[in-house]
Structure 1
Amino acid sequence: MNPTGLLEVTAVRRPTPRTVRVTFTGSGLDSLEAWPDQQLKLLFPPPGRPVRLPSADDDVMRWYQAYLAIPEDERPVMRSYTVRSRDRGTIDVEFVLHASADGPATTWARTAAHGDVLGRYGPDIAYRRPVPKADTVLLAGDETALPAIATLLSEVDNALVFVEVPDAAEEQLLPVRWLHRDGAPHGTKLLEAVRGASLGPGVAAWLAGEAGMVRSLRRHLVGERGLAKDVIEFTGYWRRALTQDDAPTSEDLADAREKLGG
């Protein structure tokens, strides 16, 4: 499958007040292999401009260099998302409308309509991660982790799942234990629930969502529960007060080294 292409919006729905689910069609999607937690890059054009794509190349580094070579006023903004579902040449992607900020992706999603066009890079099978295997698989995340958790649940039948969302209106039809922030600081309800959970022996974990929240969960599981680091899959999808364009913090770099085994 060509890693680069255009995506056209065919449908827009609101499964919850703060979630926009967009259905895309595009060349190559009909041959897309499915796997859980399938991530891709979406390319959002500057206002009033069409999407300008880098030259297609299977090598991600050469592709990224071509992306950076696009003049800044024409270069699309790139953000990472997870495929929520796919069906006969289409994919669904969910956008969380964060109340605190309107970045380029949130701004686009608020007014997304049939016929709108974005660019994409991926999904690339080189980034496929193994599904955790253990007697009990702990899945924990915030609302941004829901698309990945939904796909993982199709492969894992022994999961203990905690998802923190702003309030009851953000629940979706998934077999998870919902935790409502209801004004509490982000991540506190999720950390309390995981700390109070009876996990038993033979546990693997998958964690995703706000980076600081994920970091606190990992520290609990490793430092207090004694889980080995290599049985925990983790991803910080976003950072409070920072965007993907901001430089990584020292903790971000430490997380990246650990994921690479350093």
Structure 2
Amino acid sequence: MTAVQTEVQSYVLFRVAVVRTERISPKMLRVTFGGPSLSGCVWAGHDHRVKLFLPLPGQTDPVVPEGPDWFAEYRAMPAATKPPMRTFTIRELRPDSHELDVDFVLHGDLGPASTWAGRARPGDRVAILGPNARCPTVHGYEYRPDADTDWTLLAGDETALPAITGILAALPAERTALVFVEVESAAEIRPLPCAGNARVTWLSRDGGPAVGGGLLREAIGRAEFPTGRPYAWLAGESSAVTGLRRHLVRDRGIDRKDVYFSGYWLLGSAIE
């Protein structure tokens, strides 16, 4: 008899509920989710992402397809039953206590995730598609500098702040990092944990809206970079990070393979 091997999925669905919420800053809310299934979740630190599914009005739990074809099935769902889905960064995972933290940027009722988070209460239920601890290879994170990297450049707006915080917390003690974070106002500035040698530059819009990363581009354009091979990690508004990557490659001579960039959101549109 031939043994049948079942492929272990890299991401699986975790049914969880809100345990508590904590206001990190005027515009940032930390939501702690809990549930026994989280003992099967894994976290590599850094910018590890999950998919968050929110219940529709009148639902206790969102209706979410499971299995290897979940995304095709999700996209085929009728609008009346299709739950909002958004991508977030794991801020911290504590599998022994079955808890997972996600930081939300609050911008009023401009999107389903911000609207939900602003009203979240203990017991509210969601579904999280997260990394499976049973999978031999950990997937779902992108911060992967080569071993011979000499220094790190991190840049992004407030939506990238949870990932930047995770990356800095895991930075080797000997690693130098230049960090540029654009936020709505100076009230969002706070200490960031870091074991390495990081120089953090906060850029405030003084209450203005995020309109494409002009502050980031200007500040990085003026910055004096350390010598040696860099690794750049850029995330935030899509057009902003695309422009930053172009500047680093064309104007600063950084090899494109040493630049990771991700459009977390797009002006005037939603990215699932």
TM-score strictly above 0.5 = yes
Matched, 1:79 2:86: yes
2:144 partner amino acid: V
User: How far apart are residue 83 of structure 1 and its match?
Assistant: 0.7
Which protein is richer in helix relative to its size?
A: 1
User: Which of structure 1's runs of 4+ aligned residues deviate more than 6 A?
Assistant: none
* Change beyond 3 A, Cα 1:186–1:66: closer
Matched, 1:189 2:215: yes
2:91 partner amino acid: R
* Change beyond 3 A, Cα 1:130–1:206: closer
Other-structure match for 1:172: 190
Matched, 1:128 2:138: no
Other-structure match for 2:54: 44
Gaps of 5+ in 1: 246-262
Matched, 1:110 2:143: no
In 1, are the aligned partners of 2:11 and 2:131 still within 8 Å (CA)?
no
Once the two structures are overlaid, the 10-residue window that deviates more, 7-16 or 86-95, is 86-95
User: How far apart are residue 197 of structure 1 and its match?
Assistant: 1.2
Other-structure match for 1:252: none
Determine helix, strand or coil for the equivalent of 1:28: helix
Normalized against structure 1, the TM-score is what?
0.85
In 2, are the aligned partners of 1:139 and 1:207 still within 8 Å (CA)?
yes
User: How far apart are residue 2 of structure 1 and its match?
Assistant: 6.5
User: How far apart are residue 63 of structure 1 and its match?
Assistant: 1.2
User: How far apart are residue 123 of structure 1 and its match?
Assistant: 2.9
Other-structure match for 1:28: 37
In 1, are the aligned partners of 2:54 and 2:126 still within 8 Å (CA)?
yes
In 2, are the aligned partners of 1:53 and 1:67 still within 8 Å (CA)?
no
Determine helix, strand or coil for the equivalent of 1:153: helix
* Change beyond 3 A, Cα 1:22–1:202: same
- Max Rg structure: 2
Identity of aligned residues (%): 41
Q: Distance in 1 between matches of 2:181 and 2:242?
A: 16
Aligned residues: 241
User: How far apart are residue 224 of structure 1 and its match?
Assistant: 0.5
Determine helix, strand or coil for the equivalent of 1:3: strand
User: How far apart are residue 153 of structure 1 and its match?
Assistant: 1.0
Give deviations 1:89-139, integer Å, cap 9, x for gaps. Answer: 21110111226x611111101111111111111236333335224111100
Once the two structures are overlaid, the 10-residue window that deviates more, 236-245 or 209-218, is 236-245
Q: Distance in 2 between matches of 1:48 and 1:42?
A: 18
Other-structure match for 1:141: 156
* Change beyond 3 A, Cα 1:242–1:33: same
Once the two structures are overlaid, the 10-residue window that deviates more, 132-141 or 26-35, is 26-35
Q: Of 77, 92, 95, which residue of structure 2 is paired with 1:70? A: 77
Matched, 1:16 2:6: no
Q: Distance in 1 between matches of 2:114 and 2:144?
A: 29
1:135 partner amino acid: D
Gaps of 5+ in 2: 1-9, 133-137, 194-199
Q: Distance in 2 between matches of 1:118 and 1:149?
A: 25
In 1, are the aligned partners of 2:182 and 2:215 still within 8 Å (CA)?
yes
Q: Distance in 1 between matches of 2:141 and 2:219?
A: 29
Q: Distance in 2 between matches of 1:149 and 1:2?
A: 22
Determine helix, strand or coil for the equivalent of 1:122: strand
Q: Distance in 2 between matches of 1:56 and 1:110?
A: 28
Determine helix, strand or coil for the equivalent of 2:153: strand
* Change beyond 3 A, Cα 1:173–1:26: same
